[in-house]
């Protein structure tokens, strides 16, 4: 009985001691601070996966107080070098377009996707549009998807896999697909063959004929060519 009583006292002291000794020990301070940041802007990147299928990958762009860094969140996918270079150019152009210095800000790019590696420069235009939207405190319309590289001066350059990307945009419910200049029409080669006989010899002659087809007719989505980021912003940012 005495042992049990001592045990209870021991337990009680343990509980009391645990919650009181902290006032005499190491002080940890909770800091409440107000962090200035923009609401992350989400935009869909049109891409082609390793199987040749078009996919849309959501990208978040966030602007925070900082020192001019361009940060990529590598918690999920890795970014190939050319994609990183597109990010730099996208931030540079967004800064120029909005007239906002990035010297005291950091731009953070985050992708949430099952893909492990993201590569290629075709997301440059989308990154620039999203960065502009973030700097202006606006959002990007979900119904519009863009593909194209970003070039100095804010020009949008050519990319590949246009048809597959358009199909992915249509499947996701987008109503408008913005493409670089000259890419709203795709070339589909077809082969016309004729056979004829000369003497005892049969000859087969084939001619490759290129058909130029409006992309909007193939994928059932409105397609618009845009040559600059400023043009794209007019359709995408609200």
Partner 1 sequence: MKILYITALCIVLVAFLIIGAFFDVPLKREVLLQTVETPKYIETHINHTIPVLLNYSEHVVVVNGVGIFENTTTGEVVEIIVATRPGTGRMLLDVEDTAFGVDLQEHLVYVKACAENYITENLDFYDITVGIDSSAESIRGSSGNAAMCIGIVGIFRNMTIDPGVAVSAGVSSNGRLLEIVSPEAKIQVAANQGMDAIIIPADQELDLGNISADILIIQPQDVGEALQHILVPRAGIA
Considering only 3, 4, 5, 182, the residue that binds partner 1 (CB under 8 A) is 5
Does 103 contact partner 1 by CB under 8 A?
no
- Residues in region 11-40 near partner 1 by CB under 8 A: 12-14, 16-39
- The single residue listed with the structure tokens 């007019």 is 234
| Residues 180/225, Cβ–Cβ less than 8 Å | yes
| Residues 47/118, Cβ–Cβ less than 8 Å | yes
Phi-psi region of 219 (alpha: psi -120 to 50; beta: other; left: phi over 0): alpha
Element (H, E) at 146: strand 144-146
Report CA torsion sign: 173, 175, 181, 185: positive
# binding residues, partner 1 (CB under 8 A): 57
- Residues in region 114-143 near partner 1 by CB under 8 A: 117, 135-137
**Residue number with CB closer to partner 1 (136 or 216):** 136
Does 1 contact partner 1 by CB under 8 A?
no
Considering only 48, 56, 57, 87, the residue that binds partner 1 (CB under 8 A) is 87
| Residues 120/47, Cβ–Cβ less than 8 Å | yes
- Residues in region 151-210 near partner 1 by CB under 8 A: none
**Residue number with CB closer to partner 1 (32 or 195):** 32
Does 85 contact partner 1 by CB under 8 A?
yes
The CA distance from 234 to 238, in Å, is 8
Question: In the bound complex, what is the minimum distance in angstroms from residue 158's beta carbon to partner 1?
Answer: 22
Considering only 65, 214, 230, 238, the residue that binds partner 1 (CB under 8 A) is 65
| Residues 31/47, Cβ–Cβ less than 8 Å | no
The CA distance from 38 to 33, in Å, is 16
The CA distance from 25 to 16, in Å, is 15
Considering only 42, 49, 60, 70, the residue that binds partner 1 (CB under 8 A) is 70
Question: In the bound complex, what is the minimum distance in angstroms from residue 108's beta carbon to partner 1?
Answer: 6
Positions that interact with partner 1 (CB under 8 A): 2, 5-6, 9-10, 12-14, 16-39, 65, 68-75, 78-81, 84-85, 87-88, 100, 104, 108, 110, 117, 135-137
């Amino acid at each position: 009985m005495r042992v049990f009583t001592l045990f209870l006292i021991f337990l009680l002291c343990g509980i009391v001691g645990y919650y009181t000794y902290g006032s005499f020990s190491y002080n940890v301070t909770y800091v409440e601070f107000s962090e200035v940041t923009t609401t992350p802007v989400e935009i869909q990147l049109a891409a082609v996966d390793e199987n040749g299928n078009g996919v849309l990958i959501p990208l978040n762009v966030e602007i925070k107080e900082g020192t001019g860094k361009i940060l990529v969140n590598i918690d999920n996918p890795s970014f190939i070098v050319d994609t990183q270079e597109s990010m730099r150019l996208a931030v540079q152009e967004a800064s120029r377009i909005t007239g906002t210095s990035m010297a005291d800000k950091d731009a953070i790019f985050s992708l949430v996707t099952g893909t492990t590696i993201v590569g290629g420069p075709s997301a440059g235009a989308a990154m620039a549009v999203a960065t502009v939207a973030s700097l202006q405190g606006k959002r990007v319309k979900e119904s519009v998807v863009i593909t194209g590289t970003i070039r100095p001066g804010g020009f949008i350059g050519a990319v590949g896999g246009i048809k597959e990307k358009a199909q992915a945009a249509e499947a996701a419910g987008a109503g408008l697909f913005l493409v670089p200049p000259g890419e709203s029409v795709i070339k589909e080669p077809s082969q016309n063959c004729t056979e004829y006989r000369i003497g005892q010899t049969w000859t087969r002659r084939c001619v490759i004929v290129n058909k130029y087809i409006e992309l909007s007719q193939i994928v059932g989505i409105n397609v618009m060519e845009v040559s600059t980021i400023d043009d794209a912003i007019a359709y995408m940012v609200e």
